[in-house]
Amino acid sequence: MVSLMSGAVLHFAKAQNADDPERHWFNYGARASAFAGAYTTQTQDVSSMYWNPASLSFLERNAVLWDYFQEPHGRMKSELLAVPLPFGEENAAGLGINATQILMDDGFGIEHTSALYGFDFASAAALTSTFSVGIKGTVQYGQLQKQQLWTASSAIGILYAPGPDVSYGLVYSGFGEAIQYSLDHEDLVLRHQATPHNLQLGLAMQFPSSKVERAVTIALANDKTFGKTGLRYNGAIEWSATHFLDLRIGYVVAPAYAGAKYGIGIHTDGIQLDYAISPSALTDQFQEVTMSVLM
């Protein structure tokens, strides 16, 4: 769901895993990465708005979030700053700004540096104490040499949490356009591309049900990109080993690939640090770190 929510797509010669939907053109939190994208039902912090904007109504922590992401050899690196904007008892919002730098090979041995910037705003309304709806809008700006391009896209979601031990989520994305990189003769060019239509369903279970004493979280999700064959399945388990340490493992299975993600979380009363790594060459390799500071 990462690339589907961001809407950034890359097509150019010698592009490694260019069509891999797990590719991170923008990063949305190390915990979510360690969950392998099974994040449609998560409500821990403001990063969840990128996966399901309806989650903002049930945030467990109002915290400012900073995230740094990097692929091997520094070919792609990005930063994110996001903050929740609660207002009223039934409504909530979130604001995020991110920047990504990509080093690309044009297929003729010449490398070019491209910059991508994303501006996201999400809003959610709790229709009942257990049901919320939300919408997220994204504006992107791409720059490659002297070329510049703006695009806009959006996604909608719902979240149903009948109890503290279980929650269900649904997200539909595919409104608007994305930024596409294409090889035109010997030149890399920026173009508009329709954002793929995607539907994701998610389920999460926590044991025990108390948020204070929670020991295990199990998250599952699957999504369908319309016009493409097959489904993608995501799953994750988080174990709270101590009151300040969480261990995570996620796994994604798609028609053309499969791979694991791993993560760790350390938290105090005011700060949370999360780390994620994707070591398998079968999917995108990366490292990511997130720091959240309570407001």
165-224 pLDDT, tens digit per residue, is 999 999 999 899 988 877 665 567 788 888 889 999 999 999 987 666 789 999 999 999
With a pLDDT cut of 70, the percent of the chain lying above it is: 86
Instruction: Transcribe 46-70 into DSSP letters.
Output: GGGGGT-GGGGGG-S--EEEEEEEE
Q: How far is CA 84 from CA 96, 110, 142, 200, in A?
A: 9, 41, 25, 23
Number of domains in the chain: 1
State the pLDDT at residue 194.
Answer: 87
CATH of the domain at 131: 2.40.160.60
Q: How far is CA 174 from CA 7, 89, 217, 227, 278, in A?
A: 8, 30, 29, 12, 27
**Where would I find the beta strands (DSSP E) of 127-256?**
131-144, 147-163, 166-184, 187-194, 198-207, 216-225, 232-240, 245-254
DSSP state at residue 256: T
With a pLDDT cut of 90, the percent of the chain lying above it is: 59
Q: Are 56 and 46 in contact (CB under 8 A)?
A: yes
| Mean pLDDT along residues 224-246 | 93
Calpha distance 251→233 (Å, rounded): 8
| Mean pLDDT along residues 150-175 | 95
**Which of 166-180, 199-213, 235-249, 261-275 is the least confident region?**
199-213
Which residues span the domain enclosing 201? 2-294
**pLDDT confidence bin for 107, thresholds 50/70/90:** low
State the pLDDT at residue 35.
Answer: 95
At residue 47, does pLDDT exceed 60?
Answer: yes
